[in-house]
Structure 1
Amino acid sequence: MSARSLSRCGQEPQAFLPVEFSDAVLGVHHRVQLSRATAVQLPRTLGTGAALAFGGLVFAAGRLAQWRLDQRRYDRWGREWDQVGPRWGRSADGGS
């Protein structure tokens, strides 16, 4: 017997799993049947995508923090440079 003939008899086909999707805001409710392979692979794919998105968010936050720390350091160096000024042409021992 094929999956199609089983579903005609009122039985759920063994090769497919019922999955329900609901949207409470829109009031939409769908029931679809996914193959076992798809039903197993879909959460893996979504989980991997969520993990990559979270990793990207953490990476971007780290880069933003590093950029901000660099900007603060450059500003501090600029203030120190303004206080000391360039000393080109002067030797360290005070001679000419």
Structure 2
Amino acid sequence: MTTPVEERKQREKTTLQEVLKAIENIPGITIFSYWDGTELPPWHRIFFQADSDDDAKNAATTYFDAGIRILNLARVWDFSAKGIGDPYWIMEFDPYHSRQV
């Protein structure tokens, strides 16, 4: 028998896997990392590159419409010793307060 905490963690893991799978199918989006929220804060982060700003916004809109509670969508740049690198996006979402995809 599983505890409520174990059930919640499994539900969150399933939601993350479904979100990752769906984002990979959006044209113009390339996921390069994610954070599963096992430590605090308890939300998930997906790091991805998008061919355009519209592609990134479409990815967030797709998940918001599917019931995923988007907490943040931000474009950031990778600053390195060689200067500014390619921008990438971070999308944070709250699987605990989201409907299942």
TM bin, normalised by shorter chain, reads: under 0.3
TM superposition score normalised by structure 2: 0.25
The structure whose residues are more often strand, as a share, is 2
TM superposition score normalised by structure 1: 0.26
The structure whose residues are more often helix, as a share, is 1
